[in-house]
Amino acid sequence: MRRFLIKLRMIVMKFGGTSVGSAERIKAVANLISDDREKIVVLSAMSGTTNTLVQIARLFGENRQTEAIVEIDKLETKYLETLSALYSTEEATNKGKNMLKSHFDLLRGFSSATFSDCNERTILAQGELLSTALMQIYCEEQNIASKLVPALNFMRTDQNGEPDSAYIKEQLHKELGKYSGVKLFITQGFICRNPAGEIDNLKRGGSDYSASLMGQAAAAAEIQIWTDIDGFHNNDPRYVKNTRAIRELSFDEAGELAYFGAKILHPATVWPARESNIPLLLKNTMNPDAQGTLISSHTKGEGIKAVAAKDCITAIKIKSGRMLMAYGFLRKVFEIFETHQTPIDMITTSEIAVSLTIDNTAHLDEIVTELKHYGYVEIDRDMTIICIVGNNIMSCKGSISKIFTALDDVPVRMVSYGGSRHNISILTDNIHKDEALNRLSEYLF
């Protein structure tokens, strides 16, 4: 019983690719996790690795084995250089070299295999398996008591491709329960198994999601997401100067910002934490003393707090006289998107038209073909959703006037307002994004 109670007080710490992107960064992370508090540490692949593995898988899939082997050799050389800078003892170096050899021999083995989706997922999983193994060997060398627990032993999706929460909770407790007295557990983000037992993943950015799911399963006291920025900023620092970190956000506010373009957090991460009321803390590995952003069920103040932008949006307008005073029209439109498993981001309607946006155009041609049965269809590509987020925006006088004053010279294609108390979304052409973000910062902050 005492062991179980200790588990309830653990924390989950997730470190992204840039946080473990070099020998120097791995050492810095090891220093951050080496205190006496009980924790699960979730690691992404080293920065750049997943992109290379995607390329390797593509080359194998196209039967370009020679080119794939060249990329594997280059990636192995990079890891050997990291290993050389990371370890100081012969024992750790030899152990690291043997570990690398096993993973890169596995990758080369796909040159003689009939390639499949399962092969591709196995290739992509190697990034997280490599980063966690490098970290575990370094902890052992530094006498930091830790245990490497494979995420493939407890992370699983269900028949719908969604995380199997009950299974994850049961198997995670079983896995951690094997190691009495261990306080530091290292594991992989992103990767999991599917119901068939095959290696699978939670899609790109899924390491954040993994950490949140593990935090929920372990009833953690806190989930920490460590990246290379001091938390959520009030605007996108890639396009706007002098942005500032936001100290506190509600789960709803953070979810809106993550979904509508704030790159610091994978959108799905918020929901497991919210369901279990576990605070999320966003921290900067490069500046660990910075306060970061605390995301919880409590938030201070009302009004506009931040702006984010989501690119690669396609707007679809369906215009039809049959909408006028008709029922069932919208249901038929939505069923087309449901059939093609294409989520809708924004939607606005008038008496004879409905406009909506999507960010997944994989089935756009089929969708447009079916929509034409109901009316004239107009497509606008390369659009951007500008999302203005805050607590109870709708209740704050002057918010709307400030936003539209700021965007007075920016052509606006759509406005979504009222679906959420925390979000006003505006669609514009991508070429106006920089201007819109900077003008909103000037007027709102």
What is the band of 307 on the pLDDT scale with cuts at 50, 70, 90? Answer: very high
From the list 432, 419, 421, the residue with the least C-alpha distance to 399 is 421
Contact 347, 416 (CB under 8 A): yes
Q: Homologous superfamily of 304-444 in CATH?
A: VC0802-like (3.30.2130.10)
What is the crossing angle of helices 23-32 and 117-141, to 10°? 70
What is the crossing angle of helices 117-141 and 90-109, to 10°? 180
pLDDT tens-digit map of 58-113: 999 999 999 999 999 999 999 999 999 999 999 999 999 999 999 999 999 999 87
Q: In the predicted model, what is the mean pLDDT of residues 25-50?
A: 96
Beta strand segments in 196-266, E: 199-201, 222-227, 248-250
CATH of domain 2-228: 3.40.1160.10
Does the pLDDT at position 2 exceed 70? no
Does the pLDDT at position 5 exceed 90? no
Show the tokens assigned to 327.
């029922």
pLDDT tens-digit map of 38-54: 999 999 999 999 999 99
Confidence at residue 322, expressed as pLDDT on a 0 to 100 scale: 67
What is the band of 169 on the pLDDT scale with cuts at 50, 70, 90? Answer: very high
Contact 269, 215 (CB under 8 A): no
What is the band of 287 on the pLDDT scale with cuts at 50, 70, 90? Answer: very high
Domain ranges, ordered by start, for the chain: 2-228, 304-444
Q: Which residues of 140-167 are buried (b: 16+ CB within 10 A; e: fewer)?
A: bbbeeebbbbebbebbbbeeeeebbeeb
Does the pLDDT at position 356 exceed 80? yes
Q: In the predicted model, what is the mean pLDDT of residues 317-329?
A: 75
* Measured distance CA(387)–CA(306) in Å, rounded: 8
For residue 342, report the phi and psi dihedrals to the nearest 5 degrees. -120, 110
Pseudo-torsion of CA 380, 386, 387, 393, nearest 10°? -110
Show the tokens assigned to 38.
């009980």
Average pLDDT, the chain: 92
For residue 247, report the phi and psi dihedrals to the nearest 5 degrees. -75, -35
Does the pLDDT at position 121 exceed 90? yes
What is the band of 3 on the pLDDT scale with cuts at 50, 70, 90? Answer: very low
Residue where the block lists tokens 């080119």: 67
Give the rounded percent of residues in the chain with a pLDDT score beyond 70.
96
Confidence at residue 16, expressed as pLDDT on a 0 to 100 scale: 95
What is the band of 279 on the pLDDT scale with cuts at 50, 70, 90? Answer: very high
Does the pLDDT at position 7 exceed 70? no
Confidence at residue 4, expressed as pLDDT on a 0 to 100 scale: 43
